[in-house]
């Protein structure tokens, strides 16, 4: 069976053949029934220590992780399949019927059955008819199966449920989110395939019927004054790709992809005068949650954990239709598995290209006429996931000066609420007649398994503070940087602070930099609000990671996700708050830095029908990592395609480049 492992590196994602083999081996060994589905199939990744052995020439096993769930009874098993031995290395039943419960993510195959289950329920039919829906309307009604949250009710405990909300549509291309059916929520048990609870508000709010569509046919008149803008790379790109390995401008890394996280960056390192220095062992976004701040029936339970309850990788867009990037693009096709364990290719799931990014550095010395300027270029590695109404882009940027950035792009359609005539929406902003958008927050968590120069890493926290008047501050102008070493895990949960410019530095104290200090990278976090739900609320218990911006843990292979392994219909308490309770030492250790960041969203008319992109994210900047600005050796090239607009306007065909050549 060794032949199926035709890949070159232990971190390469499972191939189509390996996915098929893993499923076949497990099915045969456990005599799985035809009702078993596979919500997750991925590589069981080797650890840092495994890879160190691999570099010494030791052969590693090739392992697949499979989550196998029987949809006839909900029984769920975690399996590890050894692909080289063709054996099942472990097969463990999950106690999902016991507190604190939890469920595998919602699968696409379940989405299809939910609509039929809801629309055939007589209580749901009666409830929507009270709101003016006719028998002719029902086939066109859009049913959104939303991960349910958890409130301790009997039909939630240990059950595989979703809550379904409904939208009227005038035709199949109509934007249902403009027409929410307010006050009707069906709770669907996905194992029993029945509606186990139907909420029908006493207050009847009519369905808003004003059309708010976004298809191009809705905007036949487009603006006419937009001229073409082309990015031309006549000599090709500056990066090289070898399988899943990428090199660009001194950077090197491996691309990975998992069903839950989507894009993963492995073994990110940077060249320093001919020496490749490790920076991050593994980087990904392991969770995002969107808690809503409306206490009414359609909304109070909404808190989608888009990674853990659906899977950002599973819902990644295949960018076959063209992506939003300009220039020369390298796409990665990703081998994946459907719910039945059938392998398939996610075509163009990851996009990589270069972008011009304005000025990297510049100086003009008037005394001697030296004028030097260099433009900045960045490498962009990205993917987009559509999770129901929202669309999220995840863009990793690498810069020529050693900077690393992650930017999340939020777009798509907001959740909506119907508002009665003459009333105004209490729980968010009005976006159109009779249509409100509930206030909500989006939280992401990036997991950064650090590896600054290999070996033990330490995280320190820094605040800028004024120095009191005194002999060492006679003019009152001095201020200090206060430093705190995060020694144990419970020292680490912390908030960004705009007032003190708080930042964190991940450093390797076992190595000395050019000025005698520990080389490091600085994490620049945005001081945006953390989760504002009450600490005792179930959403705050389930999404506790979003209560702090920063957490640091000692690496443990089992601690992969900010919200824990199975946040779906989970009672809470798992993930980062539980991990740090162990209070392990994190000074000069194998540390994982977890950063929660987000966007707090009060809806407004400009968000509809499709919201222009909102941005959030963070930056890691070299901080005493290099001995100098590593981008001084960029060539002083002149962009000969730049044209002085005044010369062109005057018809001068000898228009000169703006850089004077
Ligand atoms: Ni939003």
What whole-number distance in Å separates Cα of residue 37 and Cα of residue 23?
Answer: 10
CA 259 to ligand 1 center in whole angstroms: 23
CA 68 to ligand 1 center in whole angstroms: 33
**364: annotated active-site residue:** no
Per DSSP, the chain holds a count of helices (H) and strands (E) of 7, 32
Q: What pLDDT digit, counting tens, does each position of 299-358 carry?
A: 999 999 999 999 999 999 987 656 677 889 999 999 999 999 999 999 999 999 999 999
Helices (H), 448-557: 538-542
**Between vectors from CA 17 to CA 392 and to CA 345, what angle results, nearest 5°?**
30
CA 613 to ligand 1 center in whole angstroms: 10
Please tell me which residue in 82, 174, 189, 306 is annotated as part of the active site: 306
Q: What pLDDT digit, counting tens, does each position of 95-145 carry?
A: 999 999 999 999 999 988 999 999 999 999 999 999 999 999 999 999 999
Q: What's the pTM?
A: 0.96
Q: SS in 3 state form for 141-156?
A: CEEEEEECCCCCCCCC
Element (H, E) at 245: strand 245-248
Residues 6+ positions from 321 with CB-CB distance below 8 Å = none
Task: Determine the pLDDT at residue 370.
Answer: 96
**306: annotated active-site residue:** yes
CA 502 to ligand 1 center in whole angstroms: 26
Q: What pLDDT digit, counting tens, does each position of 226-279 carry?
A: 998 888 899 999 999 999 999 999 999 999 999 999 999 999 999 999 999 999
Q: What percent of the chain has pLDDT over 90?
A: 92
Residue 654 in this model has a pLDDT that exceeds 80: no
Residues 418, 181 contacting (CB under 8 angstroms): yes
Tell me the C-alpha to C-alpha distance, in Å, between residue 483 and each of 12, 465, 502, 592: 39, 10, 10, 20
Residue 4 in this model has a pLDDT that exceeds 70: no
The helix/strand/coil state of 129 is: helix
Residue 224 in this model has a pLDDT that exceeds 70: yes
Task: Determine the pLDDT at residue 397.
Answer: 98
Residues 601, 425 contacting (CB under 8 angstroms): no
Residue 660 in this model has a pLDDT that exceeds 50: no
Token pair belonging to 643: 């044209």
Could you tell me which of 312, 243, 337 has the C-alpha nearest to residue 16?
337
Please tell me which residue in 177, 390, 392, 425 is annotated as part of the active site: 390
Q: What's the mean pLDDT in 507-519?
A: 98
Task: Determine the pLDDT at residue 535.
Answer: 96
Q: What pLDDT digit, counting tens, does each position of 11-43 carry?
A: 999 999 999 999 999 999 999 999 999 999 999
Q: 215: which DSSP letter?
A: S
Token pair belonging to 196: 């186990």
Task: Determine the pLDDT at residue 533.
Answer: 98
What whole-number distance in Å separates Cα of residue 500 and Cα of residue 561?
Answer: 30
CA 291 to ligand 1 center in whole angstroms: 10
CA 58 to ligand 1 center in whole angstroms: 48
Task: Determine the pLDDT at residue 7.
Answer: 66
CA 193 to ligand 1 center in whole angstroms: 31
Helix axes 122-129, 108-119, angle to 10 degrees: 70
Count the neighbouring beta carbons within 10 Å of the beta carbon of residue 546. 30
Residue 581 in this model has a pLDDT that exceeds 60: yes
Q: Would you give the distance in Å from CA 9 to the centre of its chain? A: 25
Tell me the C-alpha to C-alpha distance, in Å, between residue 87 and each of 33, 45, 82, 335: 18, 17, 5, 22
Q: Please compute, for residue 211, the number of CA atoms within 13 A of its CA located in the half-sphere on the CB side.
A: 12
Residue 628: asked if its preceding bond is cis (omega within 30°), the reply is no
CA 609 to ligand 1 center in whole angstroms: 13
Task: Determine the pLDDT at residue 644.
Answer: 82
Q: What pLDDT digit, counting tens, does each position of 619-628 carry?
A: 999 999 999 9
Dihedral sign from CA coordinates of 457, 594, 557, 49: negative
Tell me the C-alpha to C-alpha distance, in Å, between residue 392 and each of 40, 95, 334, 614: 21, 32, 18, 10
Residues 546, 563 contacting (CB under 8 angstroms): no
**Between vectors from CA 262 to CA 260 and to CA 265, what angle results, nearest 5°?**
120
The helix/strand/coil state of 405 is: strand
CA 442 to ligand 1 center in whole angstroms: 6
Residue by residue, DSSP assigns 163-205 as: EEEEE--SSTTS-GGGSB-TTEEEEEETTTTEEEEEEE-SS--
* β-bridge mates for residue 593, sequence order: 448, 552
Instruction: State the pairing for strand pair 417-418/435-438.
Output: antiparallel
Task: Determine the pLDDT at residue 300.
Answer: 98
Instruction: State the pairing for strand pair 503-507/520-525.
Output: antiparallel
Residue 100: asked if its preceding bond is cis (omega within 30°), the reply is yes
> What distance, in Å, lies between the first and last C-alpha atoms of the chain?
62
CA 167 to ligand 1 center in whole angstroms: 19
Tell me the C-alpha to C-alpha distance, in Å, between residue 637 and each of 115, 358, 402, 404, 641: 59, 14, 21, 24, 12
CA 213 to ligand 1 center in whole angstroms: 19
CA 528 to ligand 1 center in whole angstroms: 14
Q: Which structural domains are found in the chain, ordered by start?
A: 16-94 (3.10.450.40), 108-218 (3.10.450.40), 240-458+485-622 (2.70.98.20)
Count the neighbouring beta carbons within 10 Å of the beta carbon of residue 290. 25
Rg value, the chain, Cα: 27
Mean pLDDT of the chain: 95
CA 615 to ligand 1 center in whole angstroms: 11
Q: What's the mean pLDDT in 586-596?
A: 98
Could you tell me which of 190, 259, 162 has the C-alpha nearest to residue 35?
190
């Amino acid at each position: 069976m060794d032949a199926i492992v035709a890949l070159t590196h232990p971190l390469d994602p499972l191939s189509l053949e390996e996915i098929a083999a893993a499923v076949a081996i497990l099915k045969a060994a456990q005599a799985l029934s035809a009702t078993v589905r596979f919500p997750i199939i991925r590589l069981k990744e080797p650890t840092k220590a495994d890879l160190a052995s691999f570099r010494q020439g030791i052969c590693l096993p090739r392992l697949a992780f499979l989550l196998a769930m029987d949809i006839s009874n909900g029984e769920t098993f975690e399996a590890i399949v050894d692909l080289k031995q063709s054996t099942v290395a472990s097969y463990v039943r999950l106690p999902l019927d016991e507190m604190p419960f939890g469920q595998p993510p919602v699968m696409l195959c379940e989405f299809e059955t939910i609509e039929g289950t809801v629309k055939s329920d007589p209580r749901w039919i009666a409830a929507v008819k009270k709101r003016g829906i006719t028998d002719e309307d029902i086939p066109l009604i859009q049913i959104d199966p939303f991960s349910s949250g958890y409130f301790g009710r009997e039909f939630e405990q240990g059950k595989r449920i979703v809550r379904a909300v409904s939208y009227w549509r005038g035709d199949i291309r109509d934007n249902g989110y403009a027409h929410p059916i307010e006050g009707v929520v069906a709770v669907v048990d996905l194992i029993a395939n029945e509606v186990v609870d139907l909420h029908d508000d006493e207050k009847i709010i009519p369905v808003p019927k004003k059309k708010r569509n976004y298809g191009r046919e809705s905007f036949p008149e487009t603006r006419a004054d937009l001229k073409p803008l082309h990015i031309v790379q006549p000599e090709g790109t500056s990066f090289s790709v070898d399988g899943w390995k990428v090199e660009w401008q001194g950077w090197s890394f491996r691309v990975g992809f998992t069903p839950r996280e989507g894009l993963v960056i492995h073994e990110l390192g940077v060249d320093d005068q001919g020496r490749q220095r490790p920076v991050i062992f593994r980087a990904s976004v392991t969770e995002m949650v969107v808690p809503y701040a409306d206490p009414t029936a359609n909304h109070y339970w909404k808190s989608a954990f888009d990674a853990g309850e659906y899977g950002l990788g599973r819902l990644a867009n295949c960018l076959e239709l063209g992506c939003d990037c300009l220039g020369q693009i390298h796409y990665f096709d990703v081998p994946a598995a459907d719910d039945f364990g059938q392998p398939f290719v996610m075509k163009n799931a990851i996009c990589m290209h270069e972008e011009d990014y304005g000025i990297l550095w510049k100086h003009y010395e008037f005394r001697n006429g030296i004028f030097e300027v260099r433009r900045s270029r960045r490498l962009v590695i990205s993917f987009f996931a559509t999770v129901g109404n929202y669309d999220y882009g995840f863009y990793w940027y690498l810069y020529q000066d050693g900077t690393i950035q992650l930017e999340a792009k939020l777009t798509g359609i907001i959740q909506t609420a119907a508002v009665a005539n003459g009333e105004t929406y209490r729980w968010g902003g009005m976006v159109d007649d009779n249509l409100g958008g509930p206030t909500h927050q989006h939280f992401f968590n990036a997991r950064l398994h650090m590896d600054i120069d290999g070996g033990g890493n330490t995280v320190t926290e820094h605040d800028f503070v004024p120095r009191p008047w005194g002999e060492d501050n006679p003019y009152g102008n001095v201020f200090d940087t206060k430093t705190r070493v995060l020694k144990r895990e419970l020292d680490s949960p912390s908030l960004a602070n705009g007032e003190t410019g708080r930042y964190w530095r991940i450093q390797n104290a076992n190595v000395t930099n050019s000025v005698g200090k520990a080389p490091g990278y600085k994490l620049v976090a945005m001081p945006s609000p953390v989760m504002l739900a009450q600490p005792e609320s179930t959403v705050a218990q389930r999404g506790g990671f979003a209560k702090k911006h920063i957490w640091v843990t000692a690496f443990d292979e089992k601690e992969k996700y900010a919200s824990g392994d199975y946040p779906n219909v989970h009672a809470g308490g798992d993930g980062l708050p539980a991990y740090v309770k162990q209070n392990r030492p994190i000074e000069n250790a194998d540390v994982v830095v977890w950063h929660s960041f987000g966007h707090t969203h009060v809806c407004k008319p400009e968000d509809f029908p499709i919201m222009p992109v909102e941005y959030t994210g963070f930056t890691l900047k070299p901080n005493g990592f290099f001995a100098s600005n590593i981008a001084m050796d960029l060539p002083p090239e002149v962009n000969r395609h730049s044209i002085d607009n005044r010369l062109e306007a005057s018809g001068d065909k000898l228009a000169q480049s703006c850089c004077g050549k």
